[in-house]
Amino acid sequence: MNKNSFILLTGAAGFIGSYLLGYLNKQGYNKIIIVDDFTDEDKWFNLSNKKFITKVERDELFDWLRSADPKIESVYHLGARTDTTEFDYSIHQKLNVEYSKSIWNYCTEKNIPLVYASSAATYGNGEFGYKDNHDIVGELKPLNPYGVSKNEFDKWALQQTSQPPFWAGLKFFNVYGPNEYHKDRMASMIFHGYNQIKKTGKVKLFKSHKPEFRDGEQLRDFIYVEDVANVCYWLIENRVESGLYNLGTGKARPFKDLVTAIFTSLNREPQIEFIDMPEDIRDKYQYFTEADMNKLKEAGYNEKFFSLENGVQDYVKKYLLRNEYY
């Protein structure tokens, strides 16, 4: 990428978007057009000390692009409604499907490479596995409206004959790391666990409601946000084969290990209490996710991912203990 060209970044005040903004700044990219719903004051801190050229309200973006006509070299579309407990599908349809189609069409028309955020939520219960294989996208059965909307856009993207010169839809698994202070219920378990330890000295984890999983043994593929930013950047730099790519570490870990890593980072003995899972999410809860990472590796990405222990330690010691932002 040319450091004098413009980059468009949606979701720039959010968790992953603001981290990627800081990451791009560290690589020497400052001509960044940032897009978000900037009325949410809780997210403003995510933008502190970041460099960008202008900010545009999400709902005004396409009017602004028509009038300003900036020469954009690449687009990162990370803006979305990410609340998995929001069951009004029309909200997800508008922001995660229709808005994304407009971004895609703009990139196609202007010949701009695009990286966008899909999600591992598209895989549902994992009946078809966790391979980023285009053949299974039409069969996937996500468990919530958020996952449905992400899969609907993936399906639409794969059907398009008019495409950006390069595109990648990244199926993020369980991302954690700094700049998620604003996410409330939707923040990572590391964030919630750390705050529970501060208040009570212990962490509450959901009991298992499936006999094949013991309490605390529910498995997720947890990925540190630094690795996510690395991959986003690498894809635009290398423009490998277009398509959907998983983005996890490729190794599922139990929630119990994650909580133990938080306690270890604080030099404390683990204290875990198991509680009943809320009934409204019980039948929509994933007990196991693990990214099949072969496709990205075969495309040439060979950087090592943070281990869960190293990622949690970095997050806790550098950011949570100091109340710092990236």
Residue 1, domain member (yes or no): no
| 244 is a domain residue | yes
- Do the domain assignments include residue 326? no
The model's confidence at residue 85, banded by pLDDT at 50, 70 and 90, is: low
| Dist CA 226 CA 294 (whole Å) | 20
283 within some domain: yes
Q: Is 128 inside a domain boundary?
A: yes
190 shares a domain with 100:
no
10 domain-assigned: yes
Residue 274's CATH number: 3.90.25.10
Tell me the pairing of strands 253-254 and 243-247.
Answer: unpaired
Cβ contacts of 278 within 8 Å, gap of 6 or more: none
Directed axis angle between helix 145-159 and helix 99-110, to 10°? 30
- In terms of pLDDT, which residue wins out, 284 or 303? 303
Work out the average pLDDT over 61-86: 91
List, for residues 157-198, the tens digit of each pLDDT value: 999 999 999 999 999 999 999 999 999 888 999 999 999 999
Distance CA 49, CA 60 (A): 24
| pLDDT tens digits, one per residue of 187-244 | 999 999 999 999 999 999 999 999 999 999 999 999 999 999 999 999 999 999 999 9
Given this model, what pLDDT does residue 260 score?
98
Domain count, the chain: 2
The reported pTM is: 0.95
Are residues 96 and 231 both part of a single domain?
yes
Q: Indicate if 150 and 195 belong to the same structural domain.
A: no
- Confidence (pLDDT) at 282: 83
DSSP secondary structure letters along 73-134: EEEEE------TT---HHHHIIIIIIHHHHHHHHHHHHT--EEEEEEGGGGTT-TT-S---G
Q: Same structural domain for residues 162 and 145?
A: yes
The enclosing domain of 28 has a CATH number of: 3.40.50.720
In a shared domain, residues 26 and 143 = yes
Q: Residue 275 pLDDT > 90, yes or no?
A: yes
What's the average model confidence in pLDDT over 60-73?
97
Residue 325 placed within a domain: no
* Domain match, 122 and 268 both: no
Q: b vs e for 256-268, b when ≥16 Cβ sit within 10 Å of the residue's Cβ?
A: bebbbbbbebbee
Residue 295 to residue 81: CA distance in whole angstroms: 27
Of 164, 153, 58, nearest in space to 97 by CA: 153
131, 231: one domain: yes
Catalytic residue among 19, 23, 130, 146: 146
In a domain, 295, yes or no: yes
Interatomic CA distance for residues 188 and 229, integer angstroms: 17
- Residue 150: active-site member: no
> 99 and 113, same structural domain?
yes
- Are 135 and 121 contained in the same domain? yes
Token representation of residue 12 = 């720039």
Q: Is 57 helix (H, G, I), strand (E, B) or coil?
A: strand
pLDDT of 8 reads: 98
Q: Among this protein's residues, is 146 annotated catalytic? A: yes
Range of the domain at 226: 6-175+221-250+290-305
Residues 244 and 192 in one domain: no
Q: Please indicate, yes or no, whether residues 119 and 198 belong to a single structural domain of this protein.
A: no
Rounded mean pLDDT of the chain? 95
- Active-site choice (51, 183, 202, 251): 183
Q: Do 90 and 237 have their domain in common?
A: yes
Q: How far apart are CA 213 and CA 324, in angstroms?
A: 36
